[in-house]
Amino acid sequence: MSETISARVAELGHALPDPSTPAANYVPWVRSGNLVFISGQVPLKDGQCAYVGRVGEELDVETGRKAAQLCALNVLAHLAAAVEDDLSRVVRCVRLGGFVNAAPGFGQQPVVVNGASDLMVEVFGDKGKHSRAAVGVSSLPRNAAVEVDAVFEVL
Amino acid sequence: MSETISARVAELGHALPDPSTPAANYVPWVRSGNLVFISGQVPLKDGQCAYVGRVGEELDVETGRKAAQLCALNVLAHLAAAVEDDLSRVVRCVRLGGFVNAAPGFGQQPVVVNGASDLMVEVFGDKGKHSRAAVGVSSLPRNAAVEVDAVFEVL
Amino acid sequence: MSETISARVAELGHALPDPSTPAANYVPWVRSGNLVFISGQVPLKDGQCAYVGRVGEELDVETGRKAAQLCALNVLAHLAAAVEDDLSRVVRCVRLGGFVNAAPGFGQQPVVVNGASDLMVEVFGDKGKHSRAAVGVSSLPRNAAVEVDAVFEVL
């Protein structure tokens, strides 16, 4: 593995987005003890929400999966800030929460959220294997297709 | 109390399901420090989702309560794996998250999620008393009626 | 800052609600290590849910923001119980979860949940800056407009 999170992500053909700055009285991440809690991320790219609408209606499942991956890249951008981009300080991904903008009856949240889960394992190997909850929600900020929050254990 | 979680559950007239294996890059539970984070569980029985549909529409509240109980049994199956089925290693149930597949205007999420909460107290006594959040969601994996995730403190 | 949470809240022109007693087998808060997990709070005032209905439909965004603030006051009432109302024992607000009762297509969850976030910073200053997730849900207990849960680090 590479020594930095951003280089590891680049090796996989992705780029870390610029970490977003919340326009409100909260912060992208908080460290408490060895846990880093990362705020819910929508699929921002260059400051725009790149995937808008309901998965299973306006967007197909594969597109939802890509949205979840982009959420996860935003999660990693904030994690990198929390550990000074030092890959060796990431003990493991503890938990992902995946919220999918989805209509009643939609049941493929797991496939969608795999876009985030797979990226964690690609980046961190076994340390990327996490617990998770995946649910369908009625709406999301900016009408985003997916939102992902996370907890990591770090050094 | 019995010495194992599975025996304690059996005394109450229930059986721990076989722990499900996620078909993706996540795991049923992760331990970080003294906390065990358990992935969101749908009401699986013998590998099938036993309660499908919206509570308050296709399913009544009492059926939803049973679904939440079955979710909680799946939570306990994974907890048992995390502590080698040793009841004495469970310090307490810290938090349950209850997601109820429910239509707009439905307001009885607490009654539904009590199916999970009551089981925790039956199994663990005062150590089973937890914080929780109960919300209604637009849809769930496999169109399950309920999903429950959990955090436990363990030795 | 004042020495107690309740006095600090009063200085800001608010009052801590009486801490609600869950009518079920869960508790308003659980401490594990230095973390206090607070159960999801709906906007209760004098035992009644003061804000009912969907934000963006029955209630406007500003009313939703007030509902989130009242949820946060209920969170603080339980936090005060957890630390014997001692402001100096609050290390920081680690995380807020904001669930907004909202219709498909609603995208202003962040503005609504700011009602809770802003209060945390008013009460605790920089220690009030937290990670958060804000999502839209199909329904909430008592048909509440908003539900907020929280994690704090305490001494």
Alpha carbon distance, N-terminus to C-terminus of chain A: 17
Pairing of strands C44-45, B29-32: unpaired
Give per-residue burial for A75-109: e unless 16+ CB within 10 Å, then b: bbbbbbbbbebebebbbbbbbbbbbbbbebebbbb
Interface of B with C (CB under 8 A): 33-35, 91-92, 94-96, 100, 102-110, 114, 117-118, 120-121, 128-138, 151, 153
In this predicted structure, the answer to whether residue C1 has a pLDDT above a threshold of 50 is no
Question: How many beta-carbon pairs under 8 angstroms link B with C?
Answer: 98
**What pLDDT shows up at residue C2?**
52
pLDDT tens digits, one per residue of A60-95: 999 999 999 999 999 999 999 999 999 999 999 999
Residue B1 pLDDT level (bands cut at 50, 70, 90) = very low
**What pLDDT shows up at residue C25?**
87
φ/ψ of residue A12, rounded to 5: -85, 0
Q: What does the pLDDT average to over B71-81?
A: 97
Question: Which residues lie below 8 Å from residue A53, measured CB to CB, with a gap of 6+?
Answer: A59, A101, A143, A145
* Helix axes B61-82 and B109-124, enclosed angle (nearest 10): 40
Sign of CA dihedral A113, A99, C29, B136: negative
What is the residue whose two structure tokens read 């935003």?
A74
With CA atoms as reference, report the closest residue to A135 among A121, A124, A126, A146.
A146
pLDDT tens digits, one per residue of C65-120: 999 999 999 999 999 999 999 999 999 999 999 999 999 999 999 999 999 999 99
CA distance A145 to chain B (A): 14
Chain C CB contacts of B105 below 8 Å: 139, 143
Tell me how crowded residue A151 is: count the other CB atoms within 10 A of its CB.
Answer: 25
**What pLDDT shows up at residue B2?**
52
CA distance A78 to chain C (A): 11
Interface of B with A (CB under 8 A): 23-30, 32-33, 37-40, 54, 97, 99, 103-104, 137-144, 147, 149
With CA atoms as reference, report the closest residue to C100 among C131, C129, C71, C130.
C71
Q: What are B22's two structure tokens?
A: 């996620």
Q: Do A114 and B138 touch (CB under 8 A)?
A: no
Question: Which residues lie below 8 Å from residue A67, measured CB to CB, with a gap of 6+?
Answer: A43, A50, A51, A55, A59, A112, A115, A144, A145, A146
Please state, in angstroms and as integers, the Cα–Cα distance from residue C90 to each residue in A25, A84, A128, following that order: 18, 26, 32
CB B6 within 8 A of CB B14: no
**What pLDDT shows up at residue C23?**
73
Chain C CB contacts of A54 below 8 Å: 104
Interface of A with C (CB under 8 A): 23-30, 32-33, 37-40, 54, 97, 99, 103-104, 137-144, 147, 149
Task: Please tell me which of the candidates C94, C95, C136 has its beta carbon nearest to residue A137.
Answer: C136
CB C106 within 8 A of CB C56: yes
Q: What are A85's two structure tokens?
A: 């981009």
Interface predicted TM-score (ipTM) of this complex, two decimals: 0.95
Q: Do A138 and C103 touch (CB under 8 A)?
A: yes
What is chain B's mean pLDDT, rounded? 95
Question: Which residues lie below 8 Å from residue C7, measured CB to CB, with a gap of 6+?
Answer: none
What is the C-alpha separation between C121 and C118, in angstroms, rounded?
5
Q: What are B101's two structure tokens?
A: 């597949």
CA distance A144 to chain C (A): 8
In this predicted structure, the answer to whether residue B17 has a pLDDT above a threshold of 50 is yes
CA distance B98 to chain A (A): 11
Query: What DSSP line would sit under chain B, residue for residue?
Result: --SBHHHHHHHTT--PPPPP--SSSB-SEEEETTEEEEEEE--EETTEES-BS-BTTTB-HHHHHHHHHHHHHHHHHHHHHHTTTBGGGEEEEEEEEEEEEB-TT---HHHHHHHHHHHHHHHHGGGG-BEEEEEEESB-GGGBSEEEEEEEEE-
CB A101 within 8 A of CB A55: yes
CB A43 within 8 A of CB A100: no
φ/ψ of residue B154, rounded to 5: -135, 165
pLDDT tens digits, one per residue of B90-144: 999 999 999 999 999 999 999 999 999 999 999 999 999 999 999 999 999 999 9
**What pLDDT shows up at residue C20?**
81
Q: Do A139 and C134 touch (CB under 8 A)?
A: no
**What pLDDT shows up at residue B25?**
87
**What pLDDT shows up at residue B23?**
73
Q: Do A30 and C130 touch (CB under 8 A)?
A: yes
Instruction: Please report the domains of chain C, with CATH numbers, ordered by start residue.
Output: 5-154 (3.30.1330.40)
CA distance B124 to chain C (A): 12
Q: Which chains have 3 or more CB–CB distances shorter than 8 Å to chain B? A: A, C
**What pLDDT shows up at residue A2?**
52
What is the residue whose two structure tokens read 């060895």?
A34
Of the listed ranges A30-34, B107-111, C15-19, C88-92, the least confidently predicted one is C15-19
CA B145 to chain centre: 13
Q: What are C16's two structure tokens?
A: 């801590």
CB B102 within 8 A of CB A138: no
Sign of CA dihedral A58, A60, A64, A66: negative
Portion of chain A with pLDDT greater than 90, in percent: 92
**What pLDDT shows up at residue C24?**
81
